[in-house]
Amino acid sequence: MLSCFAPPATPARLVRVVSADSYAQWQAAAPAAAREWLAGTDFKLKPGAVALLPGPAGEPPEALLVASSPPEPWDASSLFAALPPGIWQLADVDDLLPPALATLGWALAAYRFTRYRRDEAEQPRLVLPTGAGVERAVQIAESIWLGRDLVNMPANDLGPAELADAVGEVAARFGAECRTIVGEALLGANYPAIHAVGRASDRAPRLVDLRWGDAAAPRVTLVGKGVCFDTGGLDIKPSTNMLLMKKDMGGAAVMLALARCVMALDLPVRLRLLIPAVENSIGGTAFRPGDVLTMRSGITVEITNTDAEGRLVLADALAEADSEEPSLLLDGATLTGAARVAVGPELAALFTPDDRLAEDLLREGTAGFDPMWRLPLHTPYLGYMKSPVADLANASSKAFAGSITAALFLKEFVKRTGSWAHLDLFAWNDDSRPGRPRGGEATALRPLLALMEGRLGRSS
């Protein structure tokens, strides 16, 4: 159990939950002292508002929370931020704030990254609610905590080997198979782009390959960009653009967190997770502008920008994933600044040629309070990736539609799988909001999980 929860039946103070519609009814039945206190403190009736109702000795015996209509997990996140230390319990309010939403929102607000700085502030704890979906919510929260931890980790402590170790730890916990191809062995195994991007670092590149589940079950393959730090290579980034490059493995963090959730919930799938883990460094062995790589798929690619490296490592991994023709193929990457210009930091940019898959993901994103936005795979823009010496260039010749051209590049390596989606995501909360503290984020995990559950079923 996450540390922010207390076991059921633990003595606790109550949190009363109301909505804007039910507040008047609650107020009419409330003790006169509570009504007077709220009037005296100028309590505002708005979603997420919390009031502490003092007892005879001045301590708060109860709290009042105004839930959104319809309810959101961020209601419970706002509650966490407003309550003093102690153990609290939600009153019987299933309709106003369902237990699963309350559990998720509370847990996401309780997350702290404390590896390098001790956080001695005592936090409130919530008696773990009971009801439908609570265990699922706990597993989602634990997975998101894992993803956030990985993205928040600085590159000096999270390189390719440490990222591979994190995958191995999750694999061991759930009985998955996990193998890693490292360094020069990548060439023998025909992963030339992963090797090229990572070879200049003294921390060897690698491909991490996790498999789990019944071999006869529908195949679901997840691919995550694991660039543990990106200098830009010989096309070096400006220093200000490097400040957040520890999070350039955010796609790998999200997909590992999603894989953990799939295994924890025992979904009836044959899961495969592929993470190309590299550091894009500068050195005598760095790949160069003008180099031509023959990719795993056989496509030749001229390197016109060494800072467009994420699509290269993804392309080799996607080609391998595509060779098995899974029922569902999903990749996630902190791929382009253009996606952030287009949709900002909070939305994942969704690309897929499958209209039904797009509709399902957009619906689940809205329902799961983690929305995304579909951008077009406008085929004519692939012409921006022409090369006079190779089948493709790795970067566009124009300054337009950067996230679209990157997605079109990846699409060239997915030829056999019918249901594929690429998510260009930020994996970072630029500002703190209820339940979403500034820092690493497992963007899009919830809608991706819900999609799999809806399409492939939950375990019995």
pLDDT at 31: 86
The pLDDT tens digits of the residues spanning 177-195 come to 999 999 999 999 999 999 9
Strand partners of residue 52: 63
Do 224 and 333 meet the contact criterion of CB atoms below 8 Å apart?
yes
Check residues 57 and 308 and name the one with the higher pLDDT.
308
In the chain, % of residues over pLDDT 90: 91
pLDDT at 94: 76
The pLDDT tens digits of the residues spanning 331-343 come to 999 999 999 999 9
The pLDDT tens digits of the residues spanning 381-438 come to 999 999 999 999 999 999 999 999 999 999 999 999 999 999 999 999 999 999 999 9
pTM, rounded to two decimals: 0.97
Distance CA 299, CA 334 (A): 23
Catalytic position from the list 211, 237, 363, 455: 237
Average pLDDT over residues 219-243: 97
Strands 292-294 and 300-302: antiparallel
DSSP per-residue letters across 358-377: HHHHHHHHHHTT--EEE---
Q: Domain 5-132: state its class.
A: alpha beta
Spell out the domain ranges in the chain.
Answer: 5-132, 138-456
DSSP per-residue letters across 233-284: TTSPPPHHHHTTGGGGGHHHHHHHHHHHHHHHTT-SSEEEEEEEEEEE--ST
Do 165 and 150 meet the contact criterion of CB atoms below 8 Å apart?
no
pLDDT at 459: 54
CA atoms within 13 Å, Cβ hemisphere of 92: 0
Model confidence at 169: pLDDT above 90: yes
Phi (first) and psi of residue 6, to 5 degrees: -110, 150
Tokens 């309590």, residue? 43
The pLDDT tens digits of the residues spanning 18-52 come to 999 999 999 998 888 888 889 888 899 999 999 99
Do 193 and 296 meet the contact criterion of CB atoms below 8 Å apart?
yes
Phi-psi sector, 268: left (phi>0), alpha (psi -120 to 50), beta: beta
User: What is the chain's percent helix, strand, coil content, to nearest 5?
Assistant: 35, 20, 45
Catalytic position from the list 203, 311, 374, 411: 311
Average pLDDT over residues 146-150: 98
- Tell me the average pLDDT of the chain: 96
Q: Domain 138-456: state its class.
A: alpha beta
Tell me, what DSSP letter sits at residue 113?
-
Band (1; pLDDT cuts 50, 70, 90): confident
pLDDT at 54: 84
Model confidence at 281: pLDDT above 50: yes
459: helix, coil or strand? coil
Distance CA 349, CA 338 (A): 10
Concerning whether 46 is annotated as a catalytic residue, the answer is no
Distance CA 235, CA 231 (A): 8
Strands 348-351 and 270-280: unpaired
In the chain, % of residues over pLDDT 70: 99
pLDDT at 58: 72
Model confidence at 460: pLDDT above 50: no
Angle (nearest 5°) at CA 460 between 322 and 128: 105
Strand partners of residue 179: 209
Concerning whether 237 is annotated as a catalytic residue, the answer is yes
